[in-house]
Structure 1
Amino acid sequence: MKINGLGKYLLPTLLSVAVALSIGLSASLWLNPSHYKNDASSSAGTNIKTQLNNKPISEIYAPTQLMHNDDQGNQHLLVNQSVNLVGEIREYIQDYQDVKLDSSGSVSKDQYVGLLRRKDSYILNYSSAVTMPIVNQFLNKRLNGLPNYRVNRIVLPLNDDRHIYLLRDDGYRVYTVSVRKHSLQLLNQFLATKMRKINVEFKIFNDRPLIYFKKDQTMPQYAYLVNVQQQNYYIIRLLGESQNFSVKHRSNATVYNDQDSKQVSFYDNNDVKYVDERPKSIPNSYNALLFNNYNELINSGVSLDSVKFFGYDAKRQLATYRGYVEGFPIFNNVNYGLISMQIVENSSIRYEFSLASLQIPVPSGVPDEKVPSTTDVLKTLKALGYKSNKINGIELGYSWHGSAKTDVLVNLIPTWYIHYGNDWLNYNNIVAGGSK
């Protein structure tokens, strides 16, 4: 009993000492640039520069949701805690042969919704429109030669072995693609996979398809250990190893400049902002931008675990990438879970992300959270004075909350997010704040 009692206090003490040493060493490095400059020229620094993420482009720009329409016309969003359903189903649709575009064009609103509700089919939803070459990467380059259209959704019939449908929400455009006759057996068997089926329905809201959650839902809360990357890692990745940079300490940030065109700022809340005033090139098309952003993400070394493309604002030339949990995006009031990449005035680039990233899931020890149906959310927003015509989107997602007990743990709490104007607003905060 004495040994057990000693162990009870010894382990936390050793852990505290280890954390304190780690913090002390990190602080010494961050606060003394000369230490960094010496280290940056070492082989360890070179190793940092040569390390690359190996996440393929087909995962960064993969669809984020998988839906199933049954033979009665009921629609379900498919969710699994332990299996990447989109990744699983991709394995069954990579071998299309003799692919060609049969037809393309706009259809009526009712026809478009009808295709979204097509019986006996899967629907793969992108969070925002991507280009045909991006879809081609997801489908194992089976769409080579098809026109460079934009695509929001892929419809996979379970009763038609010769066609797939690519849909673009803007203009209700439908691209009918024919393929060589193929077996649908594995796609149909996939329905036997253990998964949660959430009752949903496609409707048109402000001229765009919106997935309505037909009932209140209980959603799990999650807890994750958090890793905070050291600043010198990104200094080397973003500014290089030339040592030709200056360091300025401000009230809430440390700023590094390379004396040329690049600047990287580290803020006290772990936000990072990188600016290049004279980049080697500026993408001249949306397709080029998506591929260029992927290369920049890989080269920057930013953590891409569970990160997917989230959206693009053409007016601001702003692309965003978010962490996802079970197909649901993660939001925060700072850049935790978010990577933004922007072209500024067609001449410079600005990237923002966080030093903090999710690592290992741990038991949350809290009950599931109840979230209201989409209809109830819209009713509440209207009652609080929010204009329906200013709502650009509604997403069920997870809010990043730091733990009150420790800096190395974060809680992910489910809630609705409302895209109102240019901002994503937390529905729980809206309700708590009362009328607009």
Structure 2
Amino acid sequence: MTGTIAAIVLSIVLWIFIMTNDQRFSRLSQTNNAISRQQTRSKNTKSNYDLYIPTKAYGFMKGKPYSLYDSKNNLSFEFSNNLQQATVKRIVKMSGSVANYSVLINNPNFLQLSYPDKVTFNMFADFGNKKDNREFNRFFITSSNKWIYVGNDQTSALYRVYLKNANFDRLRRYAKNASQKVPISFYKISTGYATFYTQPTKLKVYSYLTNRQSDAYFVSRLLGTSGVSSRTNKKGVTTYSLSYYTRLSVPTIRSDGPNNYVYTHYDKKDNPDAEVSLTNKLLNSIDYVHQLGLTEQDLRFFDVDDNGVSYTNYIEGMPVFLNQHDLQIVVGSSSDSATTVTFNSLNFQIPIPFDGRTTTLEATRKMLNDLENHGMRENEVQRIVVGYRVEKDNSYNNLVNLIPTYYLKAYGEWKSAEEWAKQDMNLYNLAADRKGDN
């Protein structure tokens, strides 16, 4: 107990030092100011490069692919800063195929950075042309500073992007000297490429002190300080209403419950049935992320589908899942012109110095084979990631441990591999068959 308290006190001191001196934080501040000055959109441009930052980096050693990470010289931040300082001269679509794309993704001459899901050129004011909604999720960095490849893992579409004033020399040096290099392989699944650990892999368990904002904070942020017209309590949920069109539901039980808030806002649309472009879907969600007032230091775009746009915290290069498999924020919409924002109030505040605790994950292929033997269909697997499961540490209040865990998105749902192994897959397969028939 004494050791835990000492570690927490030390972490608070280190946190203060980091917040006032660390290069990573000062670089973020400079980035925000720079984007503000060159804003070319009427909204959202300021934070696009922060929330929508590539989350994974890959390189090669002796012809074999490796996942790269370095907390001191963050590859994703470095690349994002490089991209913001560059100007796109033109984008040329290349002729491509699944076979050619597979060759490229395994080409040792390229450094790669990827998004967890698809984005569009038009998301970035200095990177896309107006109404350019072409989708991509992977960058291929060449040995040249004059152009890069941009690819779509799912469709195998490939673009050559010619740049002016780009310089990736420091990025290449950081990648070569990255402190963490884990052997992986790229495996094609239904929606793109998954990263497979080729062997059992030992990963660190991290600990964080956390806090939660009060209910009043979110009521004030989302409904205002004087506009709440009613308050009701039903089945453990309190709902505050600004009017019929705007309301916030908050959990009453805070200790053991999921602590998921639900904000609903109805907005009249000229044509509610009109299809919304992916760009607008992503951009519109950013407004709601800012409106919540959660700590955005490590918050990143994570997933987009028919259910909405999801964001979660990335800590030490990996996404955090809450309440077994929830994400921090999901911004969705419905056919009745309602936007629904489901979010968790947990903030990861202060990192505890690493104490040596680790966990070992089995090879990804073995994990997937076990689930297939359980009844999961491989063609229903949409994503495979290693993320953190949040476990409460009983030695100190508000202290949590982050346990590396396999997570899969299959049949449209995120669950850990352990959770999927407990599901009745016959029910999921039956539902998938019925959906396919329709």
Shorter chain as denominator, the TM-score bin is: 0.7 to 0.9
Q: Percent identity?
A: 23
Which of 28, 34, 50 in structure 2 is aligned with 1:59?
A: 50
Aligned to 1:258, what secondary structure does the other structure show?
Answer: strand
Residue-by-residue CA offset, 1:126-165 (whole Å, 9 max, x unaligned): 000001022x35xxx254569331111111112x343211
Structure 2 residue identity aligned to 1:255: T
1:192-271 to structure 2, matched below 5 A, reads 192-206=176-190, 208-267=192-251, 268=253, 269=257, 270-271=259-260
Distance 1:55 1:377, change over 3 A: farther
1:245-394 to structure 2, matched below 5 A, reads 245-267=229-251, 268=253, 269=257, 270-278=259-267, 284-314=276-306, 316=307, 318-333=308-323, 337-363=327-353, 365=355, 367-394=357-384
Q: Bigger CA drift: 276-285 or 374-383?
A: 276-285
Structure 2 residue identity aligned to 1:77: S
Residue-by-residue CA offset, 1:165-216 (whole Å, 9 max, x unaligned): 1111232100112235966543432235442001112121236222121111
1:104-143 to structure 2, matched below 5 A, reads 104-105=94-95, 107-134=96-123, 136=124, 141-143=126-128
Q: Aligned-residue CA RMSD in angstroms?
A: 3.0
Distance 1:142 1:80, change over 3 A: same
Which of 139, 146, 152 in structure 2 is aligned with 1:168?
A: 152
Distance 1:366 1:385, change over 3 A: farther
Alignment coverage as a number of residue pairs: 379
Distance 1:291 1:240 in 2: 23
Contact (CA 8 Å) 1:323, 1:330: kept in 2 or not?
yes
Distance 1:262 1:146 in 2: 31
1:33-72 to structure 2, matched below 5 A, reads 56-70=47-61, 72=62
Aligned to 1:99, what secondary structure does the other structure show?
Answer: strand
Which of 135, 148, 152 in structure 2 is aligned with 1:150?
A: 135
Distance 1:335 1:433, change over 3 A: closer
Structure 1 residue identity aligned to 2:291: N
Contact (CA 8 Å) 2:264, 2:341: kept in 1 or not?
yes
Residue-by-residue CA offset, 1:246-278 (whole Å, 9 max, x unaligned): 111233121111133111011123221111133
Alignment pair present for 1:177 and 2:165: no
Structure 1 residue identity aligned to 2:99: D
Partner of 1:20: none
Distance 1:336 1:359 in 2: 19
Contact (CA 8 Å) 2:269, 2:337: kept in 1 or not?
no
Structure 2 residue identity aligned to 1:66: A
Distance 1:118 1:415 in 2: 29
Offset of 1:307 from its aligned partner?
0.9
Structure 2 residue identity aligned to 1:275: T
Partner of 2:404: 414
Contact (CA 8 Å) 1:100, 1:146: kept in 2 or not?
no
**TM-score with structure 1 length normalisation?**
0.78
Partner of 2:89: 99
- Pick the structure with greater CA Rg: 1
Residue segments in structure 1 that go unaligned for 5+ positions in a row: 1-7, 16-52
Contact (CA 8 Å) 1:127, 1:152: kept in 2 or not?
yes
Structure 1 residue identity aligned to 2:180: R
Structure 2 residue identity aligned to 1:380: D
Partner of 2:41: none
Offset of 1:432 from its aligned partner?
7.2
Distance 1:391 1:97, change over 3 A: closer
Aligned to 1:127, what secondary structure does the other structure show?
Answer: strand
Structure 2 residue identity aligned to 1:265: S
Contact (CA 8 Å) 1:212, 1:375: kept in 2 or not?
yes
Residue-by-residue CA offset, 1:197-245 (whole Å, 9 max, x unaligned): 0111212123622212111111111111111101111111111233342
Distance 1:285 1:145 in 2: 13
Distance 2:100 2:227 in 1: 60
Contact (CA 8 Å) 2:82, 2:166: kept in 1 or not?
no
Offset of 1:67 from its aligned partner?
0.9
Distance 1:308 1:214, change over 3 A: same
